[in-house]
Structure 1
Amino acid sequence: MKKTILKFSIACLASLILFSACSKDDDQATTADTSNFVVVSALITSPYSGYITSFGSTMPSGTISNVKGTSKQAQWLVGIRQFGKYIYRFHNASGERGITKYSVDATTQTFKEEGYIATDKSIFGSGQHVIVNETTGFYFDPALGLLKIQKFNPTTMQRTGEFDFTAKLQDATKEFVSLGQTMMMVKEGKLYANIHYGTTARKGYLDSKDGIIRLAVIDIATGNLDKTITFDTGNKIVQTGWFFENPMWDLGDDGHLYFCDMAGIGSGGSSLHRIKKGETEIDANWIVKMDDITKNGFFHNILVRNGKIYTRIPNEGIKPDFSNIGGEIWEYSTIDVNTKTVQKITGTPIVSFNGNANAIVEIDKQIYLMVENKTQKINGFFKVNGTTATQSFQVSEGGSICGFAKL
């Protein structure tokens, strides 16, 4: 009898151990890391052909090739935008304008095109967009109306409607008026879209008619135009945002919305502005002027964390013919939000303008800086630690570095 009880007890114990082991295996299976570190590189001449490559859940390190059998080849690859575990671009793989969405398989590290929304091919800024959540996004398609904001579902990649502000924003005294062509920002239930006054000849491309920043404040829930807000920079021209992947705005960890005005690019006047948390007006008491740092430079990158603005600042002014804009003149720096004191980030060389869309990225609460310096043969990303940075990885094949993300 005792032997029977002992055998039964051993059997139960074995079953318990086996069940426990299976449970652990199940837990490990359900908590497997499905993240993907993605590196982007491309040629810096048209048609900007390059590669988007997944390295799975392993953070790239050392010297890597960005050309793999699983890489996604694409044209007009000047950077990427990310929302959650997906990549969004302003062109499809063939280089046609529109919004393209890619997913990445965590196991095979292969890419799949999840959808493409074609937009007008003739006007710069076509396909400009912002994603609010999994079901709500907005974009600019001049073919459907210069003063209309198109709505789309970022999950299904289907157009879902539009907000038409033609009657409210059209101005017969202006040659060309557009809404959201170069900048769309989101904060606290409001969509902020730039209003641009330009020329019929250039159709919004670097043709600003005055130095006033104009933003339409749109209630996302109702689609109502709450108001138009303005800020007179005192310059002859403004250029809020850009036409491709570089958003040039950031919702800081302080809750304030920060954005860049490039102004005349080669003629000075560039500045940083903000809309404070809980407010819907451009802060009249806060501005950072590039000319106070480098005369005739311009801001084009911004990330705001822990009271610091991470950006790139040229060590010389941009020439009117833009002949030095692509040179190795850009220095990574921080600007204190309150004192506006500038601090250079040491450890990184001076970099070129290439790949500015993803020049400063945040991954797992760590800040990474894109560095391409042909003179020193550096082509990769550096990790920031305080006021210095050290190289995380170097790309040896696939073109110039132009993107890094964790999906």
Structure 2
Amino acid sequence: MKKTYKIIPSLFKGLAVSSLVFGLAACSDSSSNASDDSNESGKKYGFSFMVENSQFIGTASISADQKKVVDDFVEIPNKGSFQYFNGSLYALYVEDMNSTLVRYELDKDNNMSDKPAATAKFKGTHALMMKFVDKDKMYVEQTLGDAITALDPITLKEKATIDLSKYIDEKNGAVTTVPNSAVIRDGKMFVALSQMVDLNSMITGAQGSVAVIDVKTDKVEKVITENLTAAVGVIDDMNNTMSFVDEDGDIYYYSNAAMGWMDGYKEGFVRIKKGKTEFDKDWVFHLHDAAYAGKKSNNNYLMSGGAYLGKGKFLGFFGNFEDPSNYNNYEWEFVVIDLKKKTIEKIEGLSPTIPWFAPSIHLDADGKSVLLGHADKKGGAVYRYDIASGKVTKEMNVTTGTAYYIVPLDD
């Protein structure tokens, strides 16, 4: 492999907003009960709004006055994932190379408690991603710790630690494994290992690597690889959306091939067929080969974050970083990718936006629509994309910060 770097130094200034962030704000104890507004009605969601170096988390209806409810949300650092599970909201965030996991309970009206019911600390490591197995076990992936920790989802007490250091692909120049996007199928967790070959520039390996872990024993059964793409999954806090299981039981992973920062890396989707624990070496979908925006091929990549819609379709965020200032430009598009037909179509009705809205893409609980955050020079909003019709409608104006996570309160 010809290792030619095309790193844009200023790009990592932008990544501090959406990827690995090291200098973050502290947590406050402000109330998160948005339902005190007597005018608020309707189904509630978990929201995270990013405001500079912080994110403000809580619950509110999608018809609420965003500017008003965010004042009552809990403030935590802006780098971290946010999920709902079994009656609680979980936030996992990084601060000064240490990570904190907190669990906030919801009452019968889905109001979030003012203070966490449980807290877990991870010292000296980035822990950015959570994966829930069942009511008795969850996993926290130590992104820069070569480990996955099993916890009790209620108490957040440690149950086991899975050491991944022996699986560092030193033969191909990796210096750390970096567990990231994961799915659970047939009692096994398939977790992508972004074999990092350049930690300073965050350059991942030139092939896909996935650890297969038995969730009952917390033992690594094997590590599988593929060379149809570069490293699969994404080192992020985007709730494991660069991997998913479809209705046929097939597992899909996406590789963004380091966003084009390294020559010779191939992007695209690969899969692991139902009942198999090896990559399907006969199937790959390189998005660069697909027609888009009137061209027979394109040079865009999926940003981390997205939602599987069913029937082979994935809603994601499409663009590239060829322009060094693109991470703050309104140039990225929401698209629907059809994995069966191998097509890419832009969602109509939304202007181009900045790439850091990728975490906001969430399939609603009924599976019929997707909620997503958006902003352009005219302002910010939360929109709903109807899967059947393809139409987009505005649900909430966002005037304080940007919509970072929009989480259905449903298992």
Q: Do both proteins adopt the same fold according to a TM-score greater than 0.5, normalized to the shorter chain?
A: yes
Label 1:368 to 1:108 Cα distance change in 2 as closer, same or farther (>3 A): closer
Larger radius of gyration: 1
Which whole-Å deviations, capped at 9, do the CAs of 1:346-399 have from their partners, x for residues lacking one?
Answer: 223323212312323322223224132222324212232424233242234431
Q: In 2 relative to 1, CA 385–218 (structure 1 residues): closer, same or farther, beyond 3 Å?
A: closer
Match of 2:184 in 1: 186
For residue 286 of structure 1, what is the aligned residue in structure 2? 283
Residues 293-329 of structure 1: per-residue CA shift (max 9 Å, x gap)? 4633212234223313222343x542174x2134222
Unaligned runs of 5+ in 1: 1-32
Instruction: Give how far 1:272 is off.
Output: 1.7
The answer (yes or no) to whether the contact 1:149–1:180 under 8 Å persists in 2 is no
Secondary structure of the structure 1 residue equivalent to 2:288: helix
Report whether the alignment pairs 1:51 with 2:51: no
Q: C-alpha separation between the residues in 2 aligned to 1:340 and 1:155?
A: 42
Cα gap change, 1:256/1:196 in structure 2, threshold over 3 Å: closer, same or farther?
same
Task: Map 1:162-173; keep pairs closer than 5 Å.
Answer: 162-164=161-163, 166=165, 168-169=166-167
Q: TM-score, normalised by structure 1?
A: 0.76
Is the CA contact (8 Å cut-off) linking 1:179 and 1:194 kept in structure 2?
no
Q: Which of 48, 59, 66 is the matching residue for 1:40? A: 48
Q: Secondary structure at the match of 2:326?
A: coil
Paired residue for 1:345, among 330, 347, 355? 347
Paired AA for residue 363 in structure 1: A
Contact 1:239 1:264 in 2 (8 A): no
1:242 counterpart residue number:
235
* 1:218 aligned residue (193, 196, 213): 213
Query: Partner residue of 1:5?
Result: none
Does residue 318 of the first structure (1) align with residue 321 of the second (2)?
yes
Counterpart contact for 1:136–1:151, Cα < 8 Å: yes
What is the CA RMSD across the aligned residues, in angstroms? Answer: 3.2
Residue matched to 1:256 = 250
- In the TM superposition, residue 212 of structure 1 has moved relative to its aligned partner by 0.9
Cα distance change on mapping 1:93 and 1:170 into 2, 3 Å: closer
C-alpha separation between the residues in 2 aligned to 1:387 and 1:244?
30
- Give CA deviations for 1:113-140 in whole Å, capped at 9, x if unaligned: 122221134x5x4343311111112223
Aligned residues: 357
Counterpart amino acid of 2:270?
H
Q: Secondary structure at the match of 1:288?
A: coil
User: Is contact 2:233–2:255 with CA below 8 Å preserved after alignment?
Assistant: yes
- 2:268 equivalent among 266, 271, 275: 271
Residues 372, 379 of structure 1: 8 Å contact kept: yes
Counterpart amino acid of 1:42? M
Choose the corresponding residue for 1:197, options 195, 198, 204. 195
Alignment partners' CA distance in 2, 1:391 and 1:244: 27
Residues of 1 paired with 2:375 and 2:42: CA distance? 33
Write the distance in 2 (CA, Å) between the matches of 1:207 and 1:94: 22
How far the C-alpha of 1:173 sits from its partner, in A, is: 5.0
Rounded to whole Å, the distance in 2 between the matches of 1:302 and 1:201 is 25
What residue number does 2:332 align with?
Answer: 330
Amino acid at match of 1:259: Y
**Amino acid in structure 2 at the alignment position of 1:318:** F
In 1, the alpha carbon distance for the partners of 2:143 and 2:310 equals: 38
CA distance in structure 2 between the partners assigned to 1:149 and 1:95 by the alignment: 17
In the alignment, what sits opposite 1:150?
Answer: 149
SS at 2:117 equivalent? strand
- Give the partner amino acid of 1:305: L
For 2:312, which of 294, 308, 317 is the aligned residue?
308
Q: Distance in 1 between matches of 2:90 and 2:208?
A: 27
1:128 aligned counterpart, secondary structure: strand
- After TM superposition, the score normalised by the length of structure 2 is 0.75
